């Protein structure tokens, strides 16, 4: 019974990590879009909006129609394992052709 409870707890914690990462990625995308709108570097803005633990593997892409897409690896419960899943978020301040 105890192994089942531990497994359920680990899965729940991993889902919480994924949800929190999605929320932080959306925040980083908004920060990058604001920086892009005023002519600053969106990658630096996105990096500054994330905790250091999520900066590794950060990808920032400027979209053709305006806006920014930010992608971050979801951290794994066991830090030695490489994350097979990425979370992406896009943001735009309405500037575009």
- Could you list the pLDDT tens digit for every one of the 97 residues in the chain? 888 999 999 899 989 999 999 999 999 999 999 999 998 999 999 999 999 988 888 999 999 888 999 999 998 877 677 778 899 999 998 755 4
Residue 73 lies in a domain: yes
96 is a domain residue: no
Sequence-ordered strand ranges (E) for 1-97: 59-62, 68-73, 86-91
Residue 48's pLDDT is 95
**Domain count within the chain:** 1
Give pLDDT, residue 59: 95
Domain that holds residue 8: 2-91
pLDDT of residue 25: 96
Asked whether residue 97 is domain-assigned, the answer is no
pLDDT value of position 56: 84
38 found inside a domain: yes
Residue 75 within any structural domain of the chain: yes
**Beta strands at 59-62 and 86-91: parallel, antiparallel or unpaired:** unpaired
Tell me how far apart the alpha carbons of residues 25 and 22 are, in angstroms, rounded to a whole number: 5
CA dist 51 to 8, 28, 29, 44, 63, Å? 27, 10, 14, 13, 24
> Cα–chain-centroid distance for residue 22?
5
Q: What is the pLDDT of residue 95?
A: 57
Q: By the 8 A CB rule, do 24 and 38 touch?
A: no
């Amino acid at each position: 019974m105890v192994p089942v409870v531990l497994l359920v707890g680990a899965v729940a914690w991993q889902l919480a990590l994924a949800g929190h990462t999605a929320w932080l990625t959306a925040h980083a995308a908004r920060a990058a879009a604001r920086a892009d709108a005023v002519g600053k570097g969106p990658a630096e803005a996105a990096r500054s909006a994330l905790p250091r633990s999520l900066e590794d593997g950060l990808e920032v892409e400027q979209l053709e129609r305006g806006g920014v897409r930010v992608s971050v690896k979801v951290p794994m419960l066991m830090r030695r394992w490489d994350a097979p899943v990425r979370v992406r978020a896009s943001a735009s301040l309405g500037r575009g052709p």
